[in-house]
Chains A and B, each alone.
Chain A
Amino acid sequence: MANSAIKSVLIIGPGANDIQHGDELDAATYQMALTFKRLGIRTILADDNPFSFSLDNRSVIDHACIGPLNVENLVNLIKHYHPHAILPTLGNRRAFELTQELLEKGILQECDLKLLGIPEATIRQINNPVLLSRTLHKMEAPMKSVVTVSNYPDALSEARKLGYPVIIRSVLPKSSSTRRIVHDEHELAPAVQSCLSQSRAEQVLVQQSLAGYKEIEVVVQRDLSGTMMMLSMVEDMDPIGIHAGDSIAFNPPQTLLDRQIQDMRDTAFAITRKLRIVGVNHVQFALDPESGKFYVIKNSPYFDRIVSFVAQSTGYPIADVSAQLYAGKRLRDIDLGPNYAPHAALIEPAMDHIAARVPVWGFSAIPSASRVLGTEKKSIGTVFGIGRSTIEALFKAIESRYQEPTDFHLAAQKKLTDDELIVKLVHPETGRLFVLIEAMDRGYSVEELSEMTKIDPYYFVQINQMRLLIREITDNPNKEPVLIKAKGYGLSNQLIARLWKTTPHRIYQMLVDHGLTIKYKEVEPSAGEFDQHTNIFYSAFEDENEGTKTAQPSALIVGTGSLRLGLSNAGDYFVTQMMQELRHEGYHIVIVNTNPSSISLCHDLSDKRYIEPPTLENIVQLLKVEQPQLLFIPASYDQLLAGLAKVDLGCRLIVLPDDRLPRMDGRATKMVAFNYVYDGDYAYPLGTMTNLLSPEQLNYQSTALRYPAEVPNYLFQKVSDEASDTVMKQDHPGLYQVIFVATDDEYHQLGLQPLPLPEVAFLSKVLQISLPGVYTQLLTGKMTAGTVMNSLKQAADPGVVTYRATFPFKALHVANGVPAFNKIIGARMQFLTKHY
């Protein structure tokens, strides 16, 4: 095989989480590295994300290199480790840019490095839209029309040809805000004039507007021999004009004709072939529902949130297969193992369920950001629901947004005046679905709404059905047939209870009395044709139950859900490390999560995965089915915990500390934290940290940290003793930090707090010890003083290490955003002393 010589690969990691990506890249990296390992390929991972799980898995990643994602660092790594190949598809667009820089510096030739997945010419084209569109034009792929003109009369004639609206943009703009949407000739003249004056070349682009068209995302893959297959097509409910990541999305598409699907498939294949991509390719299309014409709008031949959504919603192991394709295997040579049919890697995924993905917002932490939806992404995370109808999938997805449940939103819309409602219809904001439900309630017709919003009428028929269902439930309290119907459509007991003015427990009791039980169905990529098992399950009120009790002993873990501001992916990091330790201790792992990007859903890390909203009824039901010994619930799921407190669990409940925000927050003074593992007898020191002075703001930033703190020698012992005394007074074992306000010659103790999860992740990497693992051992009684001491002793001196949180202010256009713990979207870390 062509790539059989590859024995080691450098993976360019994604860096700090931001508005464009959560931990789907970490998950794909981990999964792929496992496959590389099986194939005997060494992996070198370059990344600086303290919340990365892959970076901590030295048994899977051979060389986890924490360092800045820049060319200099990559060159150093290449010279140090001499990899045979470089993989640019796990680090977003940034990895493509870095790869091109390496190409241009001649490093790849010099060190004889192969590019995996993406040929050199394609790297350049993905980085340069002009080159790419030239290629696509040449191959006659349908593209939107763009014409360059240098005066108004030409602009006018082009605009007439294209038809309004058109987009006018400056060529080589002097400033950034030069994009104008022009709806008629009156608006054209000033737009052209303004954009001409903004152009260094005195030229403007007249561009066809695709706003209002359907947005379709196609995921295909190709092997070295040219075999191609389509993995899924995802349809966004909202039209172009609203960022795909902010739209409700469905896999499979709900409103597309076969002809449209096949034409887009053909085009996606043609592009993938032309660009000679090996592995996955994600092609985005705009489809004009009137004419049936479609346009290629984006081509992303790398892992992203859509790819992870497709993998989780179909059960097709995309990352494993891609790793084998990168290693030079052909699709026909890939064996997915005993849980899949022979040649299953070649069977295009079929689905007998529907997956709905909904955005999750961060506005509670950043209330000043505008909630109006547009072409720039505003959501920070995502969750999904799986059901056997559009409505069931959608209700479950909404219910999975723990902080924003359905009933709250429905009630809020009632307060809108008619004028406010119209404004919200025309200028959509977050929570749009509930506005649409309210609009239907106020008598707007499917046609009117479809015209106003450019959303396919199909969805309004569904929304209307949701609305009528809610009304039917409201009008028929305590009626069994209505209850059956509601459960069939995926409504939670909580919502039904609210509508019936009773308690969720009462609803649950009704279900038990009528013998209505939840069944579980397996997500499996042949839609029942073959006896295949992915161990991914979702609930259904139907006949057949495929769920069985997992082998014992088992631990049922409720994941921390979507990426959230404040925690970023530290919750996923913590949970996943914990899962590994529990597995190590002999527990079978059952994870409940609805974040398709979450690394906790990687199939190698658990025995079973449930895609279920973390509601009381679901967890109680899963306890019945699984009868675990341990149950883990995030502390932030307070309502769930309150509900569980009233239930006989039959197992030990452990609360995951995902809700603790550091005490240091909001203070502009210097602070020092002394960190400990406390086992009930002894406090083992984990070193110190201090916050950093911001050169711009001239104050101390609690979201930038340095390890270790520089504590004057003469003070250290005294302060350290004081800190450990404080820890030893705690009732429970755990990970703690004691915080001091530091002045020149005095340390004043501010208090003690459990070590916040982002800092757990950071310290674990600094000390090369899995602190979530230690925490787990404290809970299960498996921790011994010796192990902790040894691990701490064995860790090489890390030198000085810094941690800097990142914030979504720029992405959300928030001017003068003030960094704070509850606004963190990601972080970077760096060893200031040389560290491999």
Chain B
Amino acid sequence: MTTRYLIFEDGTVFAGEGFGAPAVTFGEVVFNTSMTGYQEIITNQIYDNQILVFAQPNIGSYGIQRNNYETIVPTIKGVVVRSLSNVATNNVRRLTLDQYLKQMNIPGITNIDTRAVIHKLRDAEKPLKGSIVPVPDDHAFDQLHATVLTNQQVAQVATPKPYPNPGIGLSIVVVDFGLKNGILRELSRRKCNVTVLPYNATADEILRLDPDGVVLSSGPGNPNSIKKSVLEMIQTVQTKVPLFAIGLGHELFGIANGAKVMRYAVEHHGMNHPLKEIITDHIVYANQGGGYAIDPQTVDRNKLFITYTDMIDNTIQGLRHRQYPAFSVQFFPDGAPGPDETDGLFDEFLDMIRRKEARR
């Protein structure tokens, strides 16, 4: 392995050894404290534009497994680890993390003091731009400073064309903002007949498919960068069919109903925060990741009520509409990776649909 460097816009340099693709990339550097599921995390599209630092030091210990992709073409900008294990134990097709990242043209860097990097990110209290480079010279820093990260992330990662994921149960339209396979997996498990539509599908296009319910998927980036027509779509669809929104979808659902989002000082990615379900007072754990949350000051209590909060940072983690059968969560109820304790939300969504149909 060759020496490569993780550099930051403030001039900090961490030396390590390169793996994966030898490409030079730029991105916001964020960290994830999950103890499991590196493959699912790397292939989550929320990391478009981001370089991810794993807190768990040993990454790659079972290679790449065919059932653990959260997308086929991940667009994460880089993977930073302390100890890469170049192992492939998949019996079917042997692929190491290193080989996989090479195939996907994603650079990795190992033997980095990731705890030091995480301390830096935690204390910076604002997202830091960074780059993985072969030489940490002036040129590299110039390029890093000059880089403007795109805000058209959803357009980059979402499907441009509709596609079906047929089933024999309820008909669900999933609007793809950077879909995580876990959502489809949970719907498949419940036999749903799914059609995935591009993020810019109009209310008309959605309703023309006569769905029983609509899911707004998770995805990358700032919800304010998404065009207004998407909000209009949500405003119309929520009045017609049951709606379940996740991650970025949840943020858009909030904005469509008058709320505003705020950016975390330090992004939270992990699966160990206690989340309180307000109505039952139960505490659950779930996979969380992202840089934005709904600002509680801006929630119109006549339209929305808060269903979940994060007990550590007090952020809103779930909303429900007062008039319409529509609800949303900030975290990933599909796990992959992470606890299953909130996967019942998919059942709740389908029950909501069935109740509505029974009333007809």
Residues of A within 8 A of B (CB): 225-227, 229, 252, 254-259, 261-262, 265-266, 331-332, 341-343, 346-354, 388-390, 456-458, 461-462, 488, 521, 526-531, 540, 542-544
Contact = CB atoms under 8 A, between A and B. Distances in A.
B338 A543 contact: no
B interface residue count range (under 10 / 10 to 19 / 20 to 34 / 35 or more): 35 or more
B179 interface: no
Interface stretch (B107-115, B198-206, B351-359): B107-115
B165 interface: no
Given A332-B311, A354-B58, A461 B85 contact: yes
Contact of A529 (B83, B111, B270): B270
A74 to B, nearest CB: 36
Contacts of A530: 122
A255 B111 contact: no
A219 B33 CA distance: 19
B111 A256 contact: no
B279 interface: no
Interface stretch (B34-42, B168-176, B231-239): B34-42
Contact of B115 (A331, A352, A390): A352
Interface in B303-357: 311-312, 335-340
A265 B272 CA distance: 13
A458 B85 contact: yes
A527 B283 contact: no
B105 interface: no
A529 B114 CA distance: 12
A214 B62 CA distance: 14
B118 A528 contact: yes
Interface in B234-274: 268, 270-274
A342 B312 CA distance: 7
Contact of B87 (A259, A343, A457, A531): A457
A498 to B, nearest CB: 25
A351 B35 contact: yes
Contact of A255 (B33, B89, B116, B122): B89
B33 A350 contact: yes
Q: Which 10 A-B pairs have the closest CB atoms?
A: A258-B37, A544-B116, A258-B337, A389-B83, A528-B118, A348-B272, A527-B55, A346-B274, A542-B113, A543-B113
A227 B37 CA distance: 24
A1 to B, nearest CB: 15
Contacts of B188: none
Contacts of B19: none
Given A257-B62, A352-B118, A354-B57, A262 B338 contact: yes
B340 A352 contact: no
23 contacts: A227-B274, A227-B283, A255-B62, A257-B68, A258-B37, A258-B40, A259-B67, A262-B338, A262-B340, A331-B274, A347-B272, A347-B312, A350-B56, A350-B270, A352-B118, A353-B57, A354-B57, A388-B115, A457-B89, A458-B89, A527-B115, A530-B122, A544-B116
Given A226-B282, A266-B340, A458-B61, A389 B82 contact: yes
A255 B282 contact: no
A341 B311 CA distance: 11
Contacts of B114: 352
A254 B115 contact: no
Contacts of B118: 352, 527-529
Contacts of B33: 350, 352, 526-529
Contacts of B311: 332, 343, 346
Contacts of B57: 352-354, 388-389
Contacts of A252: 35-36, 56
Given A346-B274, A544-B113, A262 B312 contact: no
B193 interface: no
Contacts of B337: 258, 262
A348 B33 CA distance: 11
Interface string B273-303: 1100000011101000000000000000000
Contacts of B335: 258, 262
Interface string B56-92: 1110011001011000000000000011011101000
A543 B31 CA distance: 18
Contacts of A526: 33, 272
A549 to B, nearest CB: 20
Nearest to B63: A458
A542 to B, nearest CB: 4
A521 B122 CA distance: 16
Interface of B: 14, 31, 33-37, 40, 55-58, 61-62, 65, 67-68, 82-83, 85-87, 89, 111, 113-116, 118-119, 122, 268, 270-274, 281-283, 285, 311-312, 335-340
A456 B91 CA distance: 12
Contacts of B113: 540, 542-544
A718 B170 CA distance: 99
A527 B268 CA distance: 12
A258 B285 contact: no
A12 B341 CA distance: 35
Given A351-B35, A458-B61, A528-B31, A343 B274 contact: yes
A511 to B, nearest CB: 18
A389 B55 CA distance: 12
A332 B115 contact: no
A544 B285 contact: no
A550 to B, nearest CB: 21
Contact of B339 (A257, A265, A542): A265
A341 B87 CA distance: 36
Given A348-B285, A390-B85, 7 more contacts: A227-B282, A346-B283, A389-B58, A458-B89, A526-B272, A528-B118, A544-B116
Given A262-B339, A348-B272, A456-B89, A388 B283 contact: no
Contacts of A349: 272
A354 B271 CA distance: 18
Contacts of B336: 258
Contacts of A225: 281
B228 to A, nearest CB: 35
Nearest to B337: A258
A348 B58 contact: no
B229 to A, nearest CB: 36
A748 to B, nearest CB: 63
Nearest to B120: A544
A811 to B, nearest CB: 34
Contacts of B86: 461
Nearest to A541: B113
Contacts of B82: 352, 388-389
B346 to A, nearest CB: 15
B14 to A, nearest CB: 7
B69 to A, nearest CB: 12
Given A257-B68, A262-B335, A527 B312 contact: no
Nearest to A522: B115
A258 B61 contact: no
A390 B274 contact: no
B340 A258 contact: no
A259 B337 CA distance: 7
A521 B56 CA distance: 14
Contacts of B268: 529
Nearest to A254: B61
Nearest to B40: A258
Contacts of B89: 255, 456-458
A349 B57 CA distance: 14
- Among B37, B58, B336, B340, find the residue whose CB has the most chain A CB atoms closer than 10 A: B58
B285 A343 contact: no
Given A227-B282, A347-B273, A351-B35, A390 B87 contact: no
B336 to A, nearest CB: 7
Nearest to A289: B89
A777 to B, nearest CB: 41
A332 B35 contact: no
A215 B62 CA distance: 17
Given A226-B282, A255-B62, A257-B65, A542 B116 contact: yes
Contacts of B40: 258
